[in-house]
Chain A
Amino acid sequence: MRPFSVNSLTDGKQLADIGTFESSRFLAGGTNLVDLMKHQIETPQHIIDLSRWDSANNIDETDDYYQIGAMVSNTDLANFAYQRKDLSVLSQALLSGATVQLRNRATTGGNLLQRTRCYYFYDTNQPCNKREPGSGCAALDGFNRIHAVLGTSEHCIASHPSDMAVAMTALDAQVKTINTKGDTRSIPVRELYQLPGDTPHIETVLAEDELIVAVKIPKKKRGTQTYRKVRDRSSYAFALVSVACDLTLKDGVIADISLAFGGVGTQPWHAASAEDFMRNKTASSSLYEQAVDLELNPARGAGGNDFKIPLIKRTAAFVIQQAVEHQMANPGHQGAIHAR
């Protein structure tokens, strides 16, 4: 690890006192950043430590929204969301990720901004445009079984690894930020990420000095919620493909649906075309298949990951079908299909 200096924030507003931000990084739980610093993939000269920022550890609830502080741990958020039927998909997604040890340490802000698990991004002997702009992409002709099929470019096909972010995308959460000038803004998670294009090292719309303060999830009546993760082993593995779905059926018609995919996109994938195609139509298996086909129309495999296209299609159709059946049998149902 390269040497660095440290400032600890105890309040988001303190950011303004830090002044220049060059070659700095925010350090939350460190489960991703410390790993990348050990590999010297990230080499910040300065660390802004968030571990003393106590006010960012709260979850606030009003009639209209939940507000989750950036430093709330993945465990605490999963436990909280488990108790709320309208946040079930978030709990399911969080609990499917990593391990208890990691979730105890990982934070809400850090989880959203964790970086790809592309093998070549981690191997500093290989060309990688994300790690070293302009060096090339070893994954295009390499082992690309875990890589993305949606939102890719000829410069990068890395998939976004987060499970939580897929659920946040389905729930249409907003990210609240502050920068070193004290300016604040709110960004929908659906607009937080950037496609790789020819700048795969730029992953989000956040500025270098922009700190995530909280994530806000709108409160509303939701429907049957599922997070389905398909992976190489049933625990402690990143998603090959995953589906987050929140569906409400009224008189056999899909009255409302939120759908997001993980593992297949260069960013948590909001399946907006599929949603629009299904909304206010009578539920049927051919409807879901057509809708998902429409979403997957631009999907392109790179060889090793070709299987993800039929796999995400089948997984999404299965999840939607299951939710529809559950809504038919339990009109007005909210939450997970099975929960203890």
Chain B
Amino acid sequence: MATITINGQEYPLPDDPRTTLLDFLHQHLKLFGAKKGCDHGQCGACTVVVDNERMNACLLLAFQLEGKSVTTIEGIASEEELHPLQKAFVKCDAFQCGFCTSGQICSGVSMMNELQENNPSTVWFEPNYSEQEDIKERMSGNLCRCGAYANIIDAVNIVRQDKEVS
């Protein structure tokens, strides 16, 4: 049977090939953390991590993900405590309505890995490179209708600089 792993647990793939990963999460698994903002790849609210890479769940047809391992916001924390980026979001007041937040956090967690792997960004070609511009560019796939951007960047910075979040 064709299966997909979500937050460590294996599930059979949906029968209808039209089902997007996002609809599968919502309608079949009742995992509502990833949000549907636009359903067209434009807002990032549906961001999840597929085999260590962040993607827009609304544009992924689930049948194409056989054997893949997906982490959603529900799987970001450990059993015992919040992920450091989740704590940083609380500390920095990095959300208002919270609709974009699960996507922001999944995106931010992946971004840390990408930075560690030294993946380039378009800002690397700028004459006046700045780390802050680099972070903004890397997070630009996640829109925030409430405009919490400044605090989101603060939260990301705390974790990136490995500061202890209490």
Q: Which of A84-105 contact B (CB under 8 A)?
A: 91-92, 95-96, 98-102, 104-105
Q: Do B141 and A236 touch (CB < 8 A)?
A: yes
- Nearest Cβ on chain A to B138's Cβ, whole angstroms: 6
Q: Do B121 and A95 touch (CB < 8 A)?
A: yes
Given A4-B18, A51-B64, A75-B53, check contact A105 B59 (CB 8 Å): yes
Q: How many contacting A-B pairs (Cβ < 8 A)?
A: 97
Q: Which of B60-79 contact A (CB under 8 A)?
A: 60-61, 63-66
Bound CA–CA A82/B118 (angstroms): 11
Instruction: Of the listed stretches A11-19, A28-36, A59-67, A216-224, name the one at the interface; the rest are far from the partner chain.
Output: A28-36
The answer to whether the Cβ of B55 comes within 8 Å of any Cβ in the partner chain is yes
Q: Which of B17-67 contact A (CB under 8 A)?
A: 17-18, 20, 39-41, 44, 47, 50, 53-56, 59-61, 63-66
Instruction: Of the listed stretches B4-12, B89-97, B107-115, B154-162, name the one at the interface; the rest are far from the partner chain.
Output: B107-115
Instruction: Of the listed stretches A130-138, A142-150, A269-277, A332-340, name the one at the interface; the rest are far from the partner chain.
Output: A332-340
Given A100-B110, A100-B111, A101-B107, check contact A34 B127 (CB 8 Å): no
- Nearest Cβ on chain A to B99's Cβ, whole angstroms: 17
Q: Do B47 and A101 touch (CB < 8 A)?
A: yes
Q: Which of A1-48 contact B (CB under 8 A)?
A: 1, 3-6, 27, 30-31, 34-35, 38, 47
The answer to whether the Cβ of A249 comes within 8 Å of any Cβ in the partner chain is no
The answer to whether the Cβ of A178 comes within 8 Å of any Cβ in the partner chain is no
The answer to whether the Cβ of B120 comes within 8 Å of any Cβ in the partner chain is yes
Interface size on B, residues (CB 8 A): 38
Q: CB-defined interface of B147-158 with A at 8 Å, one 1/0 digit per residue?
A: 000000000000
Q: Do A339 and B125 touch (CB < 8 A)?
A: yes
Q: Do A338 and B125 touch (CB < 8 A)?
A: yes
Q: Do A49 and B140 touch (CB < 8 A)?
A: no
Given A30-B61, A34-B59, check contact A338 B122 (CB 8 Å): no
Interface SS of chain B: mixed
Bound CA–CA A102/B125 (angstroms): 20
- Nearest Cβ on chain B to A10's Cβ, whole angstroms: 12
* Pick from B40, B61, B140: contact of A236, CB under 8 Å: B140
Q: Do A27 and B141 touch (CB < 8 A)?
A: no
Interface size on A, residues (CB 8 A): 37
Bound CA–CA A101/B56 (angstroms): 6
CB closest chain-A residue, reference B48: A101
Interface SS of chain A: mixed
- Nearest Cβ on chain B to A27's Cβ, whole angstroms: 7
Bound CA–CA A95/B126 (angstroms): 12
Given A31-B41, A51-B64, check contact A105 B20 (CB 8 Å): no
- Which residues of chain A are near B55, meaning CB under 8 Å? 101, 104-105
The answer to whether the Cβ of A286 comes within 8 Å of any Cβ in the partner chain is no
- Which residues of chain B are near A6, meaning CB under 8 Å? 17, 63
Q: Do A96 and B122 touch (CB < 8 A)?
A: yes
The answer to whether the Cβ of A235 comes within 8 Å of any Cβ in the partner chain is yes
- Which residues of chain A are near B65, meaning CB under 8 Å? 51
Bound CA–CA A49/B61 (angstroms): 10
- Which residues of chain B are near A104, meaning CB under 8 Å? 50, 53-55
The answer to whether the Cβ of B166 comes within 8 Å of any Cβ in the partner chain is no
Bound CA–CA A289/B18 (angstroms): 51
Given A4-B18, A34-B59, A105-B56, check contact A100 B114 (CB 8 Å): yes
Bound CA–CA A95/B119 (angstroms): 10
Given A75-B119, A95-B122, check contact A235 B64 (CB 8 Å): no
When A and B form their complex, which 10 residue pairs have the shortest distance between CB atoms, in order from nearest? Answer: A99-B141, A235-B140, A51-B64, A95-B122, A104-B53, A82-B120, A340-B124, A236-B140, A101-B141, A1-B18
Name A's B-contacting residues (CB within 8 A).
1, 3-6, 27, 30-31, 34-35, 38, 47, 49, 51-52, 75, 78-79, 82, 91-92, 95-96, 98-102, 104-105, 235-236, 336-340
> 12 A–B contact pairs at CB < 8 A?
A6-B17, A6-B63, A35-B41, A51-B65, A92-B125, A95-B120, A95-B125, A100-B107, A100-B110, A102-B41, A104-B50, A336-B125
Given contacts A4-B17, A105-B60, 4 further A-B contacts (CB under 8 A): A5-B17, A105-B59, A235-B137, A338-B127
